[in-house]
Structure formats: C-alpha cells, structure tokens
Structure 1
Amino acid sequence: MERVWLNRAMHAGFFLLLAASASRLVVRHAMDTRTIVSLAVAALLAVVYAGGVALWDRLGRGGRLAWLAVVLACWLVVAELAPSFAWCAIPLLYLCLRLLSLRLTLVAAAVLTIAVIIAQISLADRFDPSLVLAPIAVAAMTIVIFWELRKAGVMQERERLSREIHDTLAQGLTSQRMLLQAADRVWESDPDQARVYVRTAIDAAGENLDEARRFVRDLGPAPLALRSLPDAIRALGAEFRLEGTEYPLDDRTQAVLLRVAQGALANAREHAHADRVIVTLSYLEGEVTLDVYDDGVGFDRTMAVTRAGRGYGLRMMRDRLKEVGGTLTVESAPGEGTALAARIPVGATGGETDPGEEATRRQEGPGRKGSGVRRGPE
C-alpha cells in the first residue's frame, strides 16, 4: 500500500538535500571546470528525478526500475565529483526499498553506503572510525524502519480487502447462490419464475463486479455513489425504518454504516435463518446509530469468536466502527434472535449528547431503554 505522505516527504527531502549540496559546493569551491560539471550533473539528476515522479503512473514497473537505475547512476557520478552530494543517499535508499525486493535493496544499500563512506573520507581532514561506522548505522536503521512501514502498509491493505470481500463479495455470492437454488427448484414446474430468479442473479453478479472494482481502487461503496445512505440501506432488502431528521454525514461515516448493515444482514441470512430482519437508522443529536434485529436462532456470544463467519464478521464491524470513533454492541442468546447496535458520534450535527443522559444510558445497561440496542418491533 502506498503511503502518500511518506512518498511526498521523501521527494521533498531529496530536492532539499540536493539544493543544500549544490549551495555548499558553490560557497566552498571556485567555479572551475569540476564545479561546473558537478552542478550540471546535479541539474540533470534533478530533472530525471522530477520527471520520474511526474510520470510515475505512466512508467509502469519496468519503467520505474529503469528510472531508478538512471537516478542512482547520476547520483554516483555527482557524489564522486562533489562528495557533499552524498547527503541525498537516504531518500535514494527509500526509493530502492519502495521499488526493489529486499535482496536487491540490500545490494543497493551496500553500494550507496560505500559511496557515502568514500565521500565522508574525502571531505574529512583526517580519518576516524565514525566516518565508516556512522553511514553503516544510518543505512541499517533506515532499512529496518522503512521495511517495517512497508510491511505494516501491506497488512493494512490486506485487512481492508478482507473486510470488503466479507461485506460485499461474500454477501453477493450468497445471494446469487440462493437465487440460483430457487431457480433450480422451480425450473420444471414454473420456468418463467426460474428465469426471473436467474435474471436477478445476473444483476446481482453485475453489482458484485462493480463493487469489486471499486474497493480494489479504494473507492466508496457503489450504492452511495448514486443514492443517499437511507436509500442504500433500504435497497438491501430488509425491513427498514428511518428515525430522526436526516442530516449530512461525511463519506467515510456513511460507508462504514452501509458496510455494517451489509455485514449484519449477511450474518442474518447465512447463520440466523431469520424470518424477519429489521434495520433502523437513527439520526440523533450528536450521534447516528444503526440497529439491526433478527428473529433467528441467535448464538452464544462467548462462543462467537470461535465460530466461522459470524465472529469474524462482528470483529470486522467493530474494526470499521473503531476507525471512525464508533462502537458496536451485540445482544444475542440461543433461540432468542440477535440485536446489533452501531453508534458513531457526530460532532457537526448541532450539539452533543447530554452528560446526564449518557450516564443514565450506561447505568441502564444493554437491552434496556436508552442502551441503543433494539430488541425487535415496538
């Protein structure tokens, strides 16, 4: 996963270090042939580097590797001509980590470190061990820090994709399977109805494909691109209730609420075998809540984490809500259905929850009035 802020910081750092090295060269040395050539190569390095950044998306992987090789070659030449340009090694090492495998990065790091050591020794009036040990230490720390950031980014992207797959593709495939099973059951007795089921399954497959394309590009849910949050939740097919006056929510909050609703309905369909599912979206002062109740088989909450599907889905709902400062409360017991309540504070809705009311709600506990968990039709 690309860390845009880190990439921009490293690009800015490279150009600042390049400018600092060039100014040091001009201030400390006469404008002789070597100095002029050094500045010319540094200018070429700046142009090549800036061109690669500007054309990053067009270059592709092969083009980026070729661009990195040219950048490193230009830097090695200018660092040999003017050792002060060795300062640019750290952002260049980051580029290697970003584009190369770990093995090739270690090779590039060794070349960069040797070049820095040679430059340090050239600039010093006498030799001491720090001229060798310091560049090695800096290179080692840089590799470890950036590599760990890279691994963290990969894990974050995997977690995002797993949540999207669970809440969209898994639910869509389940719906398609149910529709096709229904078509198979009535294929001989009622061919027209079977065709309706098949057409609906085809439409669901198209919607699933659109969702897959959107979350691969890290876009918001497709339903929210064309309709409001209440309409998107209503379209999920459950009994829907809207409470309070709708007010604007940021895109991320809307996406989280829709994904939670999708995940809850997927759980109800796959595990609860419910006859009735009620979804209530409430726009309150200082917060927005989503309540999902089903009259299905329920489950033992203490065992949910060990059961495939439901426990995983609940964990991902909590993770999504946590990202926007929200919370999830679940009430269920075998044979008694399930009630799920998602709550997200909204600071820009014209007020905050009254402290006394909030304290009362906490004291009343789950399942009572004010807890935010609706146990079914009122």
Structure 2
Amino acid sequence: MIPTASSSPAVAPRGRAGLVGDGARVVPAATRWLRRGLDVLLVGLLVLALVGALATGTVRGVVAVGVGAALLALYVLGRRRLPLPADVRAPRGAWWPAGAWVTGLVVLWVALCLVSVTAVWVAFPLMFLAMHVLGPRRGPVAVGVLVLLVVGVMGVYTADVALPFVLGPAIGGAVAAVVVLALEAVVRESQERQRTLDELVRTRDELATAERERAVAAERERLAREIHDTLAQGFSSAELLLRAAQTALDAGDVGTARGYVEQTREVARHNLAEARRVVRALAPADLASSNLVDALRRTSARTASRIAAHGDGRGPNVVVQVSGDPVALPTDVEAALLRVAQSALANVEQHADASRVAVTLSFLAGVAPGEEAVALDVVDDGRGFDAGGVPGRSEDGPGPSGGFGLVAMRARLAELGGTLSVESAPGAGTAVAAWVPLGAAEDVEEGR
C-alpha cells in the first residue's frame, strides 16, 4: 500500500531493514519515494495537459485550466485529509470518504479530457491511486472503469478506435494493479515480520521477569529453610533449656540449673556462628570473595571507567590508600563502609567533575584495648557545594541533585555506633568521612 500523508499521524523512527514505524505501521521506506513519484507524475501530466490546452488559445483552454485547477485542488485536499490506514490488512474502499474522493477525481478528469485530449494520460496515475485507496477488491474494478473511460475518450476524438487505443490503457491498468498488489504483499510481509519480532521481544521480557521472580522466590525459600533449620531450631533448643533451668531452680537444684544454662550458652554461640554465616552470604558481591580494600579498589576503578565512558574519554585519577595496621573487620562494618564509598563515588560521578579522588581506609589504634576504630574518607577536588545548605536530617546528599542518601548512610553507621560527616565548599571539592568504633561494632554483631 502506498502510504498517504495522513496515514501516519506521527513520524516513527527508522527501524530494521529500512522499515519505518512499528507494529502495524511498519512500511518500507521505498514506498514513500513511490508515493512522491506518484504525486509528481500526476501533477506533471496535469500541467502538460493544461499547457497543451492553453496553446490552442481558445475558450477550451480557459475551461481546461479551470477544470484542471479543480482536479488538483481536490487531489491535494484528499491527500491531506483522507484517513487511510497504514495496515494493508485494514478494510478500504468504503463509499465515504475514499470512494467519493476517487469518484470526484475521475469525474473531473473526464471533464478535463473532453476539453483537452492530452489529459487522457492522467488516467495512469489515477489507476495507481484507485488501487491504493480502494484496496485489492474494489481497486481493480475502478481500474477497469478507468480503462473503459480512456477507450471512450479516445473514441470521442477518433471515429475508428484502433487496437492500440485499447491495448495501451489495458496494459497500463494491469501494470498499476500488479505493482500496487505486489507492493502491498511486501508491506504485509514486513508488518508480519515486525509483529513477530515485537512478540519475541515481549516474550523475552516476560521470561526475564519471570526468571527474576523465580530467582527471588527461590532465594527467599532458601533463606527460610536456612533460618528454620539453624537459627529457629537453635532458639527453640535454647528456650527448652532455659525452661528446664527454671524448673531446676524452682526445685532448688542449682547445679543442674547451671548445667542447663551452660548448654544454653553453647547453643547461643552456635546460633551466633550460624547467624554470621547467613550475614556473610547476604554481604555485597564485592565482599563475597575478597576483603574491603580490594572491594574499594574495584569500585573505584569502575567509577573512573564509567566517568571516562560518558565524558571525554578521561576519567579522574582515583587512588585507594590504606593507613594503619589492617585488622579483620566484622561483616557489617565492611558492608556499611563499602556502601558509603559506593554512594560517595556515585556522587563524584554525577556532580563533582573532579580530576582526582582519594579513597582512604584508616585503621585507628585506640589508647586502651577495645577503643580501636576504622575510618573511611572519600575526598575529591571537584566543584563542591554549600555544605551548610544541606539539612542535617534531609534525604539530600552532598550534591546539587541530592543523590547521596545522607540520612540512610548515617542510619547505617549509627547502627554500628559510627558517624558520618560531610565537608565541602563551592569550588573547593568535597570530603566524606565515615567513622566506626570496632569495639561497639563487635558488640552489636554479637548481640544479634
């Protein structure tokens, strides 16, 4: 089908294989050029007919110009206003408005032929137009009528209608019908292919969603089994042992009660080990097979690569440093510090426009045993911001768009007894500092 200007209300993006549109609106781009060629052919032949009529210098020439102008105006009006579907499978050829438009064009063309014989050639683009507008059922009938009208017009001007006067229009009508039908077959195949591709894409997305949901459900079921088979059973045993200890105490048997309490402590220690194992299984992926320092280096390298990818090809110089004597950190502390670093580096990527970023992990020795702490500093030399304008308990972060999640980071560190501070000034970069006391963090982990 040759698309009209009104058959595609919105300009669709160019798709695969030179197709334009989506779904039922997929049309080969070559048909647009064919449509334009049809417009040029009709207008060109019409102009030639009018020029030939004017060359006679008679009243017929003036009448021909008037009829030709009316024909051209009706053609342009229909091309701009006639709603034609882009889907070749859609029904076409209704009397209103398509049939009325084609009929009006044919009537004006016949009138023009009666005053200018050269207008008979306009019948050829009208045949293409009739096939396009009226569809594969009514279109060939209209083409046949046009062929008969051409022969009749030639008969008006020639007493003896020769065989070429019949074969010429007949062959022209057959060519118009075959070309339009073949083009519609190509369009139909393209549309079916596009529908198939769209269906495959939808199916793929549905399968991906179902797979994610299945994975989430499986993980939840696995965690439920883990908790039921380990922690829940341990707590149940501890409750029974404590109940037995209470019974022994009520009976005055302190030794037996002490034994039950010792068994309860052993169950609690075992449950604590199981709880830590579950927590480690849920730790960030970067900490699954390495320590915090290696995870910080990988996160920093990814940030620099992303900035270079969507910038001018040069990312900031991100340096990861370690200060003090490293010690083994609880899983909660490692996860919290890694999340703080990821958020701070994400803010550098989105807002800072920095050339250098320093990520420093410091192991701080205390004056007395149990006073050790760990600190994480993320410092950049970017554009900075007014730190005094960031409310202490808002969701805004240390960037102009508030992408840091300040309250969430402070809450995460507060659970471990730590703090978070942000220092920045316009044009002076930004420093994010997280501090966690290891003694308090260990107490929190043991209390879980």
**Superposed pair shares fold, TM > 0.5:** no
Q: TM-score range by the shorter chain?
A: 0.3 to 0.5
Using the size of structure 1 for normalisation, the TM-score is 0.44
